[in-house]
Structure 1
């Protein structure tokens, strides 16, 4: 029988963060489980490391500062969700919907975002070092000052993305679309640009841009 323990109860019992995150049956009124429906929920700062929230829906919710490191979020819907400063390090986020989500200063190091939808998402100053973003849609995304060092962006759609001052050193941009992207003062040193499209991109002061 599955025991449901909320975050407060777990804290009182002195359980370590990973344990009570896994067993957090209800947080902020949300049933933390795969396929859950938690729209317009307040989960600010929630400890959800390692949980399985695949196919879940968190649209228009507040998860700013939440810890979702190592979580499974495949095909989840986080569109228009507040995720500022959230930690997704090492999370599995394949085909996740983050359209118009706010991820400023978020940690997505080594996260798996293949085929993710990030149209109009705000990722300014986010850390995506080593993240897998092959075939991801980053159309019109805000990535000013973001770190994408050694990220895999093969065939990613970065059309009109704002990458001013972003670091993509050693990134794989093979076949990526950067049409009308803003790459002013960006760093693409050592990046793989084979077959990448830079049509009408703004590249003033860009290191490594064609």
Structure 2
């Protein structure tokens, strides 16, 4: 009798584990994308997806739609988001170290405290984006659109902002040591209290800029 009871228990446990495994497997797919590190999800519609805290490092999301997605605290380091729509997405405190965001649309996105060290943001659209306290040391923001962006207390040491559109952007208290603003548009920008040591402003447009040299 004991053996029969044990056998029934084992069968029930195995069935439960299989069901749990099937559920876990299905829950890792959102909009046809397998949510895991190193996944390949180009050209997908993931508008408004709930992806807070996920690990998508080394993944491929080129030309996908992640507008309004919740990526708060997600690990997106060394992933490829080139030409991706991330407008209005929540990337608060997300890891984006060496991430490719070339040509990405990040207008009105939340990137407070995000780690974007050495990220590639060439030609990216960051207008109205909140980058307060973000880490952007060594980031490439060449020709980026950043009108009205908020970079209060952000770290932009040695970042490349050549020809960036920064009209009305706020760099209050930011670390801009060694940053390159060559040919950047800083009209009506605010650099109050920013560290400008060794920063380059060659041929920059600084009309109405507060704190510009």
* TM superposition score normalised by structure 2: 0.89
Report the equivalent of 2:139: 136
The match for 1:163 among 162, 166, 177 is 166
Query: Once superposed, what is the RMSD of the aligned Cα atoms?
Result: 1.0
Report the equivalent of 1:75: 78
1:200 and 2:196 aligned: no
* TM superposition score normalised by structure 1: 0.90
Unpaired segments ≥5 residues, structure 1:
7-23
Structure with more helix by fraction: 2
Alpha-carbon separation, structure 2, partners of 1:135 and 1:166: 19
The Cα offsets for residues 177-202 of structure 1, whole Å up to 9 and x where unpaired, read as: 00000000000000000000000000
Q: Is the 8 A contact 1:4 1:26 kept in 2?
A: no
Report the equivalent of 1:12: none
The Cα offsets for residues 121-172 of structure 1, whole Å up to 9 and x where unpaired, read as: 0000000000000000000000000000000000000000000000000000
Report the equivalent of 2:148: 145
Report the equivalent of 1:187: 190
Unpaired segments ≥5 residues, structure 2:
1-16
Q: How many pairs align?
A: 193
Q: Is the 8 A contact 1:104 1:122 kept in 2?
A: yes
Alpha-carbon separation, structure 2, partners of 1:143 and 1:156: 14
1:53 and 2:56 aligned: yes
Give how far 1:5 is off.
Answer: 5.7
Alpha-carbon separation, structure 1, partners of 2:39 and 2:96: 16
The match for 1:106 among 106, 109, 124 is 109
Misfit runs of 4+, over 4 Å: none
